[in-house]
Structure 1
């Protein structure tokens, strides 16, 4: 809910007038306002308002005809938005933004219901046909992941104190401590091949992120993970569950590769994610020290069976052609001087989108959920496969008992820009009708209503043990990370045990509840200092 009421106040003061772009509506209902005859009149009215505003109109909702704050219940506001969206679609327009306030907080005797401003713009809702690259960052705490991304997406030089990191730290304690504690997201893009990047003036403004989505022909979204050891589980969630195209591993020139750096590299390689290594903070040390850390990074990559490719020496075209398949491009950067950032721009502009799963139908694993006033429950995540459109009838689950809930995709947003559909690789928030936010859990999946999903409690897997102090045997209970699922599971290895470095078969059972997983999906498992990777080879229905 918005705090600043100035936009609402200005709209009410300007008022409705013939030939104006502002319209007052107390409420809209399907039964009354979508009835034959009434709907056509409202569509014509909306079209007139949009044209009168040179392509943009403002609908003030929850107010009387004279601008009084009536306020409407959240469920009524939600229905009003649904009806307004349908009217806009018929008028070849779309809802670009919505702000809401409590009518009672105005101190003028209004009710405790909601009032809102809906901004409508000419043209159909934006479609996400643009090329969209998703990059996940990794690396040790304080090695400059968030600072590098903050400088990339804004074009602003850092102040040497991690100032641009503030564009990504979303919680007050993260800003105060200078340490990320959860996944953060950022976006920038490119308007045309070889053109200047389209950057954000202020990533904290929703409208700024939406502008990037609207203007850019190619989008680059960053999933910024956590470098602090206690939050390794969150890092794994970001690298495994977000359908990334590439990994960006940072190594600070004033520190060099650490145990955490190597651990994150291992996760990136284990999930077969093409990776780029950026040496950060090159401005903070001497050239000799940068060269030394560069050699250390090369050695780290060779120890992991990879071939380092120095971008400054071999060029961007070689890096684009060779990345993956055992080759890792390596370059020097500084968020303070912006050295190397032009090279990263050209890489992200040129790198190809990775292939999406062969599965044709829509699927999205839920990473987060939240409640939006006047909209309801929202599930966010990365579209795993297929395409989803606003209005689609879906299934959400599995629930703890293995069942799926029937829901409807009320609306879709990508980086705060409302879109009419989203395809594989897009990071989106989907407003859902038919479920409360408290019922949505990370690891659940959204699939088409007509599909017949089978919840899975047990599966067969091929695993490789990367590290374990002794041996893995029957009853071993790590946390398994597959897509956005992070769940304790019980292993039963074929032959009774697995030693460090072994590759073998094991049966895996989710300890508490079923999930929607399938053959071929890769996963990471971890328990204390024990780590490993695996691939699902066969599943058993939970029913």
Structure 2
């Protein structure tokens, strides 16, 4: 039995937000997420007691909140979160789906998938000396995650300065972190004066649900109050249906179940749908979220859909579902504005990193460097540059080396923003300006 409770029907009537929890390994993301679930009544008490006893036996009592999420044996043994998990909880105002995101460098790929679905992000940084500095250093995941969130269009951010108990709830340490992180955020395009910073301790519960008596110097809202202050983004209900596929299962007695988040349009029971780029056509038999049946799914909803006429092997993560009268666009070539974040030498025509766009990953080749731009004004400073290096902003033409669905950023941001990775790191990120569509025949 899962230790995390499923939401009741009333919870799902509240406005729904997807929250990405991000940050460097060991800064306490899973512990803070576990504590949030516990404080909002989404953890089975009997199951939690068992976890507490097990953690005590192993001398790892501080891990008990993280273990609410890290249920898999492998994750417990390694002490890191591997896959982006979807769990839900509610505040007085919203129903949240938490995308608990891996902080370990090996798993940035999953972090990108999670962040591409997020409406807002909770960045967790540790107050412990050395841990915070590593997180925002040149190789730090907090730095990389912040850059990716900005590029992927996640502009609502809360910063939780965790492990305040470790530094005796020291206000000076909190202010120092706020200052240092603020400088980095400014470089990445965030306005730190508009981002709330909150000192917390996930292990002791300070400032999560109720005000901390250990930090009387902090007079701001609690973490749950800050979550309630978030704003729902505009939902693209008037656009064609687009639902990137996160996962696909074959369920005994039910058939093929496709899991994903609706990014635009409305999906209804009985709809005839097409999966691109494979051009497979089928019918929606039922729609479910958190084990509850729905009549329709709107933008922002994470759902599982049971389909007739489409085999499990016809669909994979990274595909996109649409309707027959306005099928998702498969790209032959794209023109994009890119920012080069990190590259040891220079990028020229022929360079082939891996593109991460919504839930898809595809090798993509630079086939033309069109122009270099001034990062501050966006004006062209050089036509047809020979190469690009770290810090450059440019317009480039790229060719995906496998079929992939994308849309223009101006039409559908979630399917038009991407990250480029190579050598285990994010080398660039960008937004799609134009698409030359590939010819795909749909047989109905």
What TM-score comes out, normalization by structure 1 length? Answer: 0.64
Distance 1:410 1:170 in 2: 32
Q: CA contact under 8 A between 2:18 and 2:97: conserved in structure 1?
A: yes
Match of 1:346 in 2: 225
Q: Match of 2:407, SS?
A: coil
What per-residue deviation string (whole Å, max 9, x for no partner) do you get for residues 444-475 of structure 1? 11111322443212111111111111111011
C-alpha change, 1:460 and 1:428, in structure 2 (3 Å) is same
Match of 2:80 in 1: 179
Q: CA contact under 8 A between 1:148 and 1:335: conserved in structure 2?
A: yes
Distance 1:264 1:183 in 2: 14
From 265, 282, 286, give the equivalent of 2:168. Answer: 286
Match of 1:525 in 2: 420
Distance 1:169 1:378 in 2: 25
Match of 2:249 in 1: 370
Q: Which runs of 5+ in 2 are unaligned?
A: 56-60, 210-221, 371-383, 411-415, 440-444
From 310, 333, 336, give the equivalent of 2:200. Answer: 333
Q: Match of 1:341, SS?
A: coil
Q: CA contact under 8 A between 1:412 and 1:430: conserved in structure 2?
A: yes
C-alpha change, 1:307 and 1:268, in structure 2 (3 Å) is closer
Q: CA contact under 8 A between 2:11 and 2:90: conserved in structure 1?
A: no
Q: What is the CA-CA distance between 1:171 and the residue it aligns to?
A: 3.0
Q: What is the CA-CA distance between 1:518 and the residue it aligns to?
A: 3.1
Match of 1:382 in 2: 261
The equivalences for 1:187-226 within 5 A come to 187-190=88-91, 192=92, 218-226=94-102
What per-residue deviation string (whole Å, max 9, x for no partner) do you get for residues 329-374 of structure 1? 1111112221121212112223210123475222110011122221
The structure with higher relative contact order (CA 8 Å, sep 6+) is 2
Runs of 4+ in 1 over 6 A off after TM superposition: 156-159, 323-326
Match of 1:296 in 2: 177
Match of 2:149 in 1: 268
Distance 1:149 1:413 in 2: 24
Q: What is the CA-CA distance between 1:170 and the residue it aligns to?
A: 4.7
Q: What is the CA-CA distance between 1:304 and the residue it aligns to?
A: 2.9
Distance 2:96 2:167 in 1: 30
From 487, 508, 516, give the equivalent of 2:362. Answer: 487
C-alpha change, 1:475 and 1:469, in structure 2 (3 Å) is same
From 389, 394, 414, give the equivalent of 2:273. Answer: 394
From 382, 392, 404, give the equivalent of 1:502. Answer: 392
Distance 1:500 1:439 in 2: 39
Q: What is the CA-CA distance between 1:246 and the residue it aligns to?
A: 0.6
TM-align CA RMSD: 2.6
Q: Which runs of 5+ in 1 are unaligned?
A: 3-96, 98-124, 194-217, 309-322
Distance 1:293 1:140 in 2: 17
Distance 2:145 2:195 in 1: 14
Match of 1:511 in 2: 401
What TM-score comes out, normalization by structure 2 length? Answer: 0.78
Distance 2:408 2:188 in 1: 32
